Structure formats: C-alpha cells, structure tokens
Amino acid sequence: MSAGPVLEARGVSKSYGGLKAVNDISFSVMPGEILGIVGPNGAGKTTLFDVISGHTRASGGEVVLDGAVVTDASVHDRTRRGIARTFQQPTVARSLSVLENMLLATSFRRRRPEGDERSSLEAAYDMLAFVGLESRAEETAGLLGVFDTKRLMLGTALASGARALLLDEPFGGLSFGEIELTMDLIRRSRGEDLAVVCIEHVMRALTSLADRVLVMHHGAAFFEGSPEEMLRDERVIEVYLGSRHRREAAQ
C-alpha cells in the first residue's frame, strides 16, 4: 500500500439551505493514525462524516481515499473501497441476531488478507470474540444494551475490512469501565494500515486515544494540533473546553 494518507478531506463543505453545516474542512489521516474530532453540539462533526461516507452529498470539496477521489461515489461503493463508519445513534439490524449482524458484515468482506481461508462464519465468530460478544451470538440485536450495541457496531464496521474507520461518539452513554474497554478495542484494531477518525465529547478518552485533534466550530476548522496543545489552547478552552468543564463539574 502507498505511504500517502489513507483518507483526505479537501476543502469539504455542506450547506443545508442557508446553513453552512460544514465549511471548507481539510484533513488527512495516515495509515495507523487516529485523528480526533471535537467541537460543540451542532459544530458539523456528524455532517462531515455524512459527507465522507456518502450519506449526504458534498456542496463543495473532495473526499479522497487512497489517492482516489470518491466524492461522487455511492455509500455502497465507498464501503467496498474501504470506508466504514459507526453512528451516533445505535444502528444495528434490530430483528436479526448478533451473529446474523456480524455475518452480514463478514459476507461483504472487502479483501481477504493473504492466507485467510476462513469462511464468513468463522470470520464472524472471530470478530464476535474480538469485541467480546461471543456469548451473545444468538441474542436479538435490538435487545442489546448500549455497550453491547456499540461493540457490535464497532465489530461489524471492522469486519468489512475497512481502510478508514469513522467512529461517531463511540463512548457516548458508556460507564467509565466500558469506555476503558472500548478504547482498548480501538487501539487493538488500529492495524498498520487502518486510519481512524473519531468524533468524541469524552475528553479524557479522546486525548489519550488521538494522535492529532481537529476542533470544529460553526462548521469550520478552529484548531488542529496534538491533544496536549489543544488542552492548553486559550481559544479552544474559551469556545469548547471551558463550557464542557463547567457542565461536567456541575453534574
């Protein structure tokens, strides 16, 4: 694989009527790198993911995967090329079992690594074991709790053989211990050539996980740098961290 970025956004914009939900955002993520995206509610983080994954059409700019422009490709085509995502709201096939959800993902495996002779069923069980859901295989996915649903979403996203993994608030609604377990899963799944972009409000988790952070505000890029630099940045503290810290302290 090339040594260039796995995923690039080049001046990406998305308008809804008069609202510039995403305004000229650019970033690139290298193989094995984790980019964190933070910002106040409504900053445009999820909309940016929607544009990258193809769930909504860009108003401007380009999305580039492994050097190829995919801005006009369908969601299906982007999945096939290696863009996988999880959603802020739990999204699993609710009426199917946990195993059936995973089988759907493994049967669409984009690429089989050299020597991977596993059947889709074996690959599905391996991924269920990886995310800790082996014992839940026969349960109905719609009846899972928040943590198990999030683990299933992460597992099915990974099972497609992604090159770029987009995670939309993977720690939202989780307990302290569940956050630790999820961080460990994300760290272990970042292979040499997987690029991860992670939207998250849980600062402690994001700053320990991310190599770099992009702060969005009113759709635009407000800051980009290391987690340590972000935590020290006066402007970031003013528009984002300050209010969150006050809210968290009050709770």
Residues that bind ligand ATP (CB under 6 A): 16, 19, 21, 39, 41-47, 88
Q: How far is the CB of 102 from ligand ATP (least distance, A)?
A: 27
Report d(CA 215, CA 196) in Å as an integer.
16
Give the residue with the Cβ less far from ligand ATP, 31 or 170: 170
From the list ligand ATP, Mg ion, none, which binds 176 (C-beta under 5 to 8 Å, kind-based)?
Answer: none
Burial 237-249, CB ≥16 within 10 A → b, else e: eebbbeeeeeeee
Pick 21 or 35: Cβ nearer ligand ATP: 21
Which residue's entry shows tokens 């998250």?
200
Q: Which does 44 bind (CB under 5 to 8 A by kind): Mg ion, ligand ATP, none?
A: ligand ATP
- Minimum Å gap between C-beta 42 and Mg ion is 8
Q: What angle do CA 12, 173, 198 make, to 5 degrees?
A: 30
39 binds, among ligand ATP, Mg ion, none (CB under 5 to 8 A by kind): ligand ATP
Helix/strand/coil (H/E/C) assignment for every residue in 99-116: HHHHHHHHHCCCCCCCCC
Q: Which is nearer to ligand ATP, 43 or 84 (CB)?
A: 43
Q: Choose between 31 and 39: whose C-beta lies nearer to ligand ATP.
A: 39
**Minimum distance between the CB of residue 202 and Mg ion, rounded to whole angstroms?**
13
* Closest CB 217 distance from ligand ATP, rounded Å: 10
Residue 192: how many CB atoms within 10 A of its CB?
7
CA atoms 76, 82, 83, 87: torsion sign: positive
| Residue 97 contact, options ligand ATP, Mg ion, none, Cβ 5-8 Å cut-off depending on partner type | none
Beta-carbon contacts of residue 81 (< 8 Å; ≥ 6 apart): 65, 66, 68, 70, 73, 110, 163
Residue 19 or 75: the one with the smaller Cβ distance to ligand ATP is: 19
Q: Find, among 31, 13, 56, 58, the residue nearest to 164 by Cα.
A: 31
**Distance separating alpha carbons of residues 131 and 152, to the nearest angstrom:** 7
At 9 the three-state DSSP class reads strand
Nearest-approach distance from CB 216 to ligand ATP, in angstroms: 7
Q: Which is nearer to Mg ion, 136 or 150 (CB)?
A: 150
- Least CB distance to ligand ATP at residue 236 (A): 15
Mapped onto helix, strand or coil, the DSSP state of residue 215 is strand
Q: Which residues bind Mg ion (CB under 5 A)?
A: 45-46, 88
